[in-house]
Amino acid sequence: MEVTHSLKTRWLYAGFAILFLTWSPGAIAQSNQPPADNKYIEGATLWQQTSGERRALSYQAFALARMMLDRDLRMKRNRKPRAVIVDLDETILDNSRFEGMLLKNRVNYNQKDWTEWIDRVEATAVPGAVEFLRYAAARRVTVFYITNRNDIQKAGTAANLKKLGFPNVNDQTLLVQTDPKDSSKEPRRQSVGAQYRIVLLMGDDLNDFSDVFENSKTIDSRAAIADRYREEFGKRFIMLPNAMYGDWESAIYDYNFKLTEAEKTEKRTRLRKDY
């Protein structure tokens, strides 16, 4: 790849791109807090917003999902009706404009701004998501949306999904987090599995697939378990790309959400490999 601009110029362009792909909330929830040191996710946010590669990977994931679903549909095993489980954020809904706002205003993720974004009903569809889920629903496969958005955010979430044309959005299929102290999706997956045969699970975070990942809290253990379950990926587990946020980052901080900005920066710097 030919480099035609200086690093300074490239980051200037990056700043303009982020600016045009953000939204501004009515009030920044953390305006009385020190500015967040979140510049490090600028490249990931730009990649998510602008790259053809992100679109290609998304199309690839949903094409693979369709192949796996078609293979299952050819099998005559109908003791239970079929279901597909999908996560929402960065799996079928693109919230990169919200990430752009966090960057522009130098604030960290917080529930106030996040709820305001959800209620705006402006998230767009991840490329290929609507088409695949409509394809599944047309073949009498029930789509379940399992998300850690909460009850307060459910109405805005449902409105956004319906606005984009996602199928089968109702109180029975949109399963939000009801206990603020328990973010595990496993009980909701089990409730679906009690009545349906789950053909596919789709997500952007390892925790979207099984509680075995939810119980892995270190970088090494998450990598080891991903290796252990490698035969499931591309078959029953379909992963979507998201480098902006997720449990991968929580593992960097040892799930210590009380770290200062300086402490988080130190951990990121210490873990980065170079030569």
- Whether 163 and 153 have beta carbons less than 8 Å apart is answered as no
Structural domain 27-271, CATH architecture:
3-Layer(aba) Sandwich (3.40)
Q: Report the pLDDT averaged over residues 48-55.
A: 98
215 to each of 185, 203, 243, how far by Cα in Å? 12, 17, 21
- For position 258, what pLDDT does the model report? 92
Say if residue 7's pLDDT is above 50: no
Tokens read off for 50: 């602008």
Any residues with CB less than 8 A from the CB of 151 and at least 6 apart, and which? 176, 178
Q: How high is the pLDDT of residue 14? A: 43
- 273 pLDDT exceeds 80? yes
181 pLDDT exceeds 50? yes
Q: Is the pLDDT of residue 16 over 90?
A: no
Measured in Å, how far apart are the chain's first and last C-alpha atoms?
Answer: 20
Inform me whether the pLDDT recorded for 100 exceeds 90: yes
Lowest mean pLDDT among 4-13, 118-127, 193-202, 209-218: 4-13
Percent with pLDDT over 70 in the chain? 88
* pLDDT given for residue 26 in this prediction: 53
Is the pLDDT reported for residue 256 higher than 70?
yes
Looking at residue 30, its pLDDT comes to 47
Whole-structure pTM value: 0.89
CA distance 156 to 153: 6
% of the chain exceeding 90 in pLDDT = 81
